[in-house]
Amino acid sequence: MTSEELEILGESELSLLETLDHVLNLGLVVAGEITISVANIELIFVGLNLLVGSTETVYKILGKRLDNLDQSERSTDISSD
């Protein structure tokens, strides 16, 4: 992973997060609507995974952040997608 590639990755995550910041909490809300599911880490993880194409590399990049997560949560994420 070159630093340039890392930079592009970071920008994509930024773009995704900025989009999320708009669509997730704002907009028209209808009372009683059925809404969303799924754990938050999967979103970022899936995004990065698609970009990088390799789970190991993603883990290397996320590194410190994932260390804070539950071991069990980690293994669930690997098996999905």
Partner 1 sequence: MGEAVLTVNMEHSRGSQLPVEAEIETAHSKEFLEELRHVTEVLPERINIDAESVEQGLAKLVLTVIEFIRRLLEKQAISRVESGNLTPEQVEALGLALMKLEAKLQELKTQFGLAEEDLNLNLGPLGRLI
Partner 2 sequence: MNLYAYCLCQEMDWSTLETVTGVAGARPFVMPYDGIVAVVSKVDGSPIAVTRENVLSHERVISHVFAQTTPLPFRFGALLRPAEIDLYVASNRQALLAMLARVRGAVEMSVKIIHEAGSGGDAAHGRGEPAQAGEGIGRGAMFLAVKQRELAEGKMIEGRAREIANWLAEHLVGVVNDSFVRVRPTAGLAVKVAHLVERRGLDEYREQLKRAREERPELLFLTSGPWPPYSFCDLTT
Residues of this chain that interact with partner 2 (CB under 8 A) are: 16, 18-20, 22-30, 32-38, 40, 42-43, 46-47, 50
Which of partner 1, partner 2, none binds 10 (CB below 5-8 Å, type-dependent)?
Answer: partner 1
The entry of partner 2, partner 1, none near residue 17 (CB within 5 to 8 angstroms by kind) is partner 1
Asked if residue 47 lies in contact with residue 16, where contact means CB atoms within 8 angstroms, the answer is yes
Whether the CA torsion 68, 45, 1, 3 is positive or negative: it is negative
Least Cβ distance, residue 70 to partner 2 (angstroms): 19
Question: Which does residue 30 bind out of partner 2, partner 1, none, counting CB within 5 to 8 angstroms by kind?
Answer: partner 2
Name the DSSP letter for residue 14: H
Considering the complex, what minimum distance in angstroms separates the CB of residue 13 from partner 2?
Answer: 10
Which residues are within 8 A (CB) of 42 and not within 5 positions of it... i.e. 6 or more apart? 77, 80, 81
